[in-house]
Amino acid sequence: MKSKYVPGWVKQDRLPSWVSDSEVSSDFGVNQYLWGNMPAVNILNMDESEGVCDIHRDMNLLFAASGDIRNVVKSITEGLPDGYDGRCTLVINDINFMVVARNAILLFLALSLEPEEAVTILIHIWYSALLAPAMIDTLGQVALGRIAEVCEKIKYKPSTSLQAKTFSFGKRSLRLVLKKHQWDELKNYFDVPRGLTQEDAQDIRRRIMLAPERVDYLHRALCNQPPPIRVATVTFREDGILLPHGASREKFDVPNP
């Protein structure tokens, strides 16, 4: 691995595309915001602002326009002190239903499984383009039946009416408030689209992640990375599976629904 990266526009002695082609640089691909564009934030910081000595107080946290749940995870895992025994209520919403659906699925997994089992599945549901069949099975066992039951109960409700359901997990609970048609959409998120093969899914992804008209943007990002990270970045762009660079991808052969 070379310590210094030379981008394509330098080798070819030309202007990079974000300078020479405003149309490509302004917009590309599907307008989705699947991941946040800044590191996760712990909004509690009890040591500094809330008084860590009070481990019995109730907490009400609002994550309005939350995007993904990175801030939720960091705030709970790092923000609440050891021994905390108050009631912590989190309200999470977003205008993008695709993000809401994924957050709900991730929370189902996190609340249903033991941490050792949950972490791996959560990471791949969140970031990987392909999943292992066992992960798909676990996903269905944990959440699909419960969501399908709600869909059956509300099937005659108006499409845009708000429908709420509280799911219990021991001392914890998850309350989902969605429109009737969104409950149906959420259930469909557990199914791989009919006829979509592993190869088809990867072709669709690579048309965006490895688009030749965006190569200068990729090279610009690689310029600022150390060699090992650079290699891992390219590997993830190619296969979309969040694993160490040399790890086997053999089991990952089902498109992430």
pLDDT in tens, the chain (257 residues): 567 888 999 999 988 987 876 555 455 666 777 788 889 999 887 766 655 567 788 889 999 999 999 999 999 988 888 888 889 999 999 999 999 999 999 999 999 999 999 999 999 999 999 999 999 999 999 999 999 999 999 999 999 999 999 999 999 999 999 999 999 999 999 998 888 999 999 998 898 889 888 899 899 999 989 999 999 999 999 999 999 888 999 999 999 98
What is the predicted pLDDT for the residue at 28?
62
Q: For residue 221, tell me if it sits in a domain.
A: yes
Token duo for residue 155: 């099937």
DSSP assignment letter at 44: -
> CB 119: neighbour CB atoms within 10 A?
13
What is the predicted pLDDT for the residue at 137?
94
What is the predicted pLDDT for the residue at 152?
97
What residues make up the domain containing 255?
A: 1-30+197-257
Q: For residue 138, tell me if it sits in a domain.
A: no
132 CB-side CA count, 13 A:
14
Report CA 146 to chain centroid distance, whole Å: 21
Domain count along the chain: 1
Q: For residue 48, tell me if it sits in a domain.
A: no
Give per-residue pLDDT as tens, 155-189: 999 999 999 999 999 999 999 999 999 999 999 99
What whole-number distance in Å separates Cα of residue 219 and Cα of residue 9? 9
What is the predicted pLDDT for the residue at 50?
54
Q: Give the relative orientation of helices 180-188 and 97-112 as an angle to the nearest 10 degrees.
A: 70
Q: For residue 42, tell me if it sits in a domain.
A: no
Q: For residue 78, tell me if it sits in a domain.
A: no
Pairing of strands 162-169, 88-92: unpaired
What is the predicted pLDDT for the residue at 52?
53
What is the predicted pLDDT for the residue at 245?
85
Q: For residue 7, tell me if it sits in a domain.
A: yes
What whole-number distance in Å separates Cα of residue 250 and Cα of residue 146? 31
Predicted model pTM? 0.88
